[in-house]
Structure 1
Amino acid sequence: MRNVAVLLPATVRSFELAVFAEVFGRPPTIDYAVASEHPGVPVPAPGGLAVTPAAGLERLAVADLIALVPPAGAVREVSPAVSEALHAAVARGARVVAVCSAAFTLAATGLLDGRTIAVHSSCAGRLTDWFPAVRADTSVLYRDDDPFFTSAGSGAALDLCLHVLAKDHGAAAAAEVGRGMLVAPHRMPWLRTRSDAGIGRLLEWAIGNLHEDLSIDVMARQALLSRRSLARRFREATGTTPYAWVLEQRVRLAQQLLERDPDLGVEDAAARAGFSSAALLRQHFQRRFGCSPTEYRARFAPSSR
């Protein structure tokens, strides 16, 4: 991801536009531009603001990542020109981020047919009514279904964008942007622990003990809960399962270890991150990043740049 095009609709929601600017517009290695079907025409935003895009749809033809800004209201149709530009971009390998109600924009192109996307519960029914070929997942805050990335709400847009940045530029780059925005280093994409202080304390403990056995039985004992109660409260607080949460944290820790220490062996990185073997770490890296841990370090470790 070296080239990002932010595509504006006829009206924009300014928060999500600002998230794109902060996450993708900040790194100096990313060529960032704002485009629309009608370049040079101001696009209204809430609060009396207006955004004037400098680029047209031709900008999508060179973008590695296209970020769709949500319109002021969900849309059922998009113009043929926008649909054609998005189809062409995806066909040549571009990725698309559609946060919040921008998922409606992407669904209207037909590109999401047969796929499952993250959707806020308040609009899931309308989305599946309008686009029955698209499946809505309201249990997570964002979903990585490469080349399509969707988030369920405005707040989750930040988590999704940092995830995409980490996926292509490494955890250190995402952490640097996150620190500039005062995002906690270990913040999970779906973390909502303020509603359950007990689960919040459990997550803090688990983060410091990723190299240990973190089975559901161990975590239930640590939280003084039954397995069933832990599973229920964990999903209510985080939107996911203990297994998925721990796996995400371990992969992130392995990313950081490989980036920080070019001399650390893959076996040692796997053990420190809590994986039972280097083979298991390789399996998850291949699935998540499309490369081995060694290839990941070659791309993102400072000594390799």
Structure 2
Amino acid sequence: MSDTVRPFELAVYCEVFGTDRTAAGAPVFDFAIASAAPGVPVPVFGGLTVTPAAGLDRLSEADLVAVAPPVAPVRAVDPAVATALHAAIARGARVVALGSATFTLAAAGLLDGRTVAAPWIYAPQLADWFPRVRVDPSVGYVDDDPVLTAAAGIDLCLHLVRKDHGAVAAGAVAQGLRFMTPVRRADDDIAALLDWAADNLHEDLSIEVLARRALLSTRSLARRFRAATGVTPYAWILEQRVSLAQRLLETQPSLGVEEAAGRAGFSSAALLRQHFQRRFGCSPSQYRSRFAPSPRG
């Protein structure tokens, strides 16, 4: 953890990976908060403190290291922290950064040559300070395994749960996170559009179609959509379609991949395979074999 951290992203880590939701079908994680100085209280923006119980040696046991975002962007990082992060990746662990934590990874030299996601408010500064990092503020998160970065933190954490444990497990976690949803429902028009789109993923959901339904120009829709969700319409719809395809493959074993692709809004099974390979490193059929319940004998 850094000198002062942002509370929301830290709470996301705690809620997704540190809360026991096994009764609802979610996986269990061996969760700990670590710092270079265990036992020393760390300030959290807003007047709170958190006292990490573990030291950096805990990273040597972790499969996933989630970096707490500093309250302000940083250009340097504790050498001991940088060493521990590099060692974690070298032995096969993943490292996750939400929001301003991307600066920590960049300062540690973990993002050189990588494309990363960042909140639009930080993107210019990140690109200026670390010119070897490719910053894409148009996406909610980037899975460049073993390094994952996000502007939309909850989305990335749920993506990780889906990737390793399947869509049903991720749904159980998401159900417990309803009060932390990243969609700002204050924009009722966009909220209604999101609800409609989620129920009609098999339809043509181009930005022109969405704009006509919302009675907006494409430019106005793009602006208001990003304000409401943090991502572009394309990125949001693609995420919903992949998630639906996952659920169909997990819960409907008799459904063919081609039909699952069509129901989820993909024009072909080949396109679905492309997105599954990119996100999960496997084909839809392999994904089903991994996560679908085994038939009872």
TM range (shorter): 0.7 to 0.9
Whether the 8 Å CA contact 1:24–1:165 is kept in 2: the answer is no
Worse overlay, 127-136 or 84-93:
127-136
Q: Does 1:102 align with 2:101?
A: yes
Larger deviation: 138-147 or 98-107?
138-147
1:136, distance to aligned residue in structure 2 (A): 2.9
The equivalences for 1:82-161 within 5 A come to: 82-152=81-151, 156-161=152-157
CA deviation profile, 1:104-128 (whole Å, cap 9, x unmatched) = 1111111111223222333334333
- Residue aligned with 2:74, SS: coil
* Structure 1 residues 230 and 128: alpha-carbon distance in aligned structure 2, compared to 1, 3 A threshold: closer
Partner of residue 180 from structure 1, selected from 160, 176, 180: 176
1:275 pairs, out of 266, 269, 272, with: 266
How far off is 1:293 after superposition? 1.2
CA RMSD after TM alignment: 2.9
TM-score normalised by length of structure 2: 0.84
1:190-237 CA-to-partner distances (Å, cap 9, x unmatched) read x55644x44433332222222233345544544445666655655565
The aligned runs of 1:35-50 (5 Å cut-off) are 35-50=34-49
Q: Is the 8 A contact 2:86 2:110 kept in 1?
A: yes
Q: Sequence identity, in percent?
A: 67
Q: 1:91 to 1:218 in 2, by over 3 A?
A: same
Partner Cα distance (1:77, 1:228) in 2: 38
Structure 1 SS opposite 2:31: strand
Change (3 A) 1:25 1:126: same
Letter in 1 for 2:274: Q
Report the AA paired with residue 137 of structure 1. D
Question: Equivalents in 2 of 1:236, 1:71: separation in Å?
Answer: 23
Structure 2 match to 1:264: 255
Q: Residues 232 and 261 (structure 1 numbering): CA distance in 2 closer, same or farther, change over 3 Å?
A: same
Change (3 A) 1:32 1:203: same
Q: Does 1:14 align with 2:10?
A: no
Q: Secondary structure at the match of 1:274?
A: coil
Residues 12-50 of structure 1: CA deviation (Å, up to 9, x unaligned): 333322211110112553221221112233323345543
- Bigger shift: residues 227-236 or 99-108: 227-236
Partner of 1:4: none
Range with bigger deviation, 231-240 or 246-255: 231-240
The change in CA–CA distance for 1:131 and 1:288 in structure 2 (over 3 A counts) is same
TM-superposed CA distance for 1:87, in Å, is: 1.1
Gapped regions of structure 2 (runs ≥ 5): 20-25
d(CA) in 2 for partners of 1:217, 1:74 = 37
CA contact (8 A) 2:143 2:279 kept: no
* Structure 2 residue 165 is matched with structure 1 residue 169: yes
Query: What is the TM-score normalised by the length of structure 1?
Result: 0.82
Q: CA deviation at 1:86?
A: 0.9
Letter aligned with residue 202 of structure 1: L
Query: Matches of 2:120 and 2:219 in 1, distance apart?
Result: 24
Q: What is the total number of aligned residue pairs between the two structures? A: 290
SS in 1 for 2:122: helix
Aligned to 2:276: 285
- Which of 24, 28, 50 is equivalent to 2:17? 24
- 1:50 is paired with a residue whose SS is strand
Do the aligned partners of 1:63 and 1:94 also contact (CA within 8 Å) in 2? yes
1:262–1:303 contact (8 Å) kept in structure 2: no
CA contact (8 A) 1:298 1:304 kept: no
Secondary structure in structure 2 of the residue aligned to 1:10 = coil
